[in-house]
Amino acid sequence: MTLATLSDVLQPALRDGYAVAGLVTLGWEDMRAFVAAAELEGVPVILQAGPSCRAHTPLPVLGAMFRYLAEHASVPVVAHLDHGYSREDCELALECGFTSVMFDGSRKPLEDNIRETAEIVRLAHAAGASCEGEIGFVGYAGAEASQGTDPDQAALFARETGVDAMAISVGNVHLQTSAAGELDVDRIHAVQTLTTVPLVIHGGSGVSHEQRTMLARQTNICKFNIGTELRHAFGTALRNAVNADPQAFDRVAILKQTHDPVVAAARKVLRVLKGS
C-alpha cells in the first residue's frame, strides 16, 4: 500500500528541489491514467477531488476509488480534497479516508481565514492527515480577479495555522487554457524568505513547462495543481474516439481509447517537475 499524506510527499520535495503534481480528477478514467503515468515516471502523485468532481461523484465513492488506486500503486499516492469550503466538507473527506484536505478560506478576511484554517489543521492532524491552506485569492480566467499574496500575511498565516502546505497567489489563475502566464518570481521569493512551509501553485496549467521546472528546482514551490491541461487531453482523446467510429455505442470501448493519450499527457506534466 502506498497511500501517503501531503506532508509525506512534499517534505522530500522541499528538501531535494523538485515538485509534486496535484492532478485534478473528474472520474475513474483520468485518475487511473494519472496513477499509471506516475508509476511510469517513478514519482509520487496527488489525486485531487475538487468541487466539480464532488458534484458529480459523492465523497465516499471518491475516497474509496483513491484508496483503491493507492493500495495497488508502486508509487506514493495522496488522496486530496481540493477547495474544501467548509468544515463539513473537510470532516466528511477525512471520514471517507482522504489523507489530505485543502481548506479554502481565501475569500474570507485574514483573521477568519487564519482561525478557520487552524481548526481544519487540528482536525486533519488528529486524523493522521495533512492540511493545505490558501492565503491571497487565486482568481479564475474570465471571472473573479486574483488578489496577490502579501508576504507578511503569508508568514502570519503559516505561523498561526500550522498548515502543511500553503497555496499562494502570484500571478496564477484557475482554468487558464494556455500556458502563457509568467508567475511573479520576486513575490515567491519574498514569501519563502519569511516561511519554510511548502508552497503550492493553483492554476498550474497556465504556467509554462519551462517555468514550472525552474520554480520546482529553485524555489519552495513543491506542488503544482494541474487540471485544465489534462482535461483538454481527455476531451480531445474522447472526441477522436467518437469521431473515428460514428456507429460506436459501447461506452467502455470508447473510454478505453482515452487511457493512453491521457497517460502520455500526464507523464509530460510529471516529468517537468522531477528533480534534476
Q: Which residues are catalytic?
A: 82
Decide: helix, strand or coil at residue 176: coil
> Letter for the amino acid at 93?
A
User: What residues pair up with 221 in beta bridges, in sequence order?
Assistant: 199
- Cell 464532488 belongs to residue: 54
User: What residues pair up with 25 in beta bridges, in sequence order?
Assistant: 49
Q: What is the CA radius of gyration of the chain?
A: 18
CA angle, 147 then 197 then 94, to 5°:
90
Beta-carbon count within 10 A of 148 CB: 15
Decide: helix, strand or coil at residue 77: strand
Instruction: Give dist(CA 68, CA 71) in Å, integer.
Output: 5
Q: How far apart are the first and last CA of the chain?
A: 27
Q: Quote the longest CA-to-CA distance of the chain.
A: 60
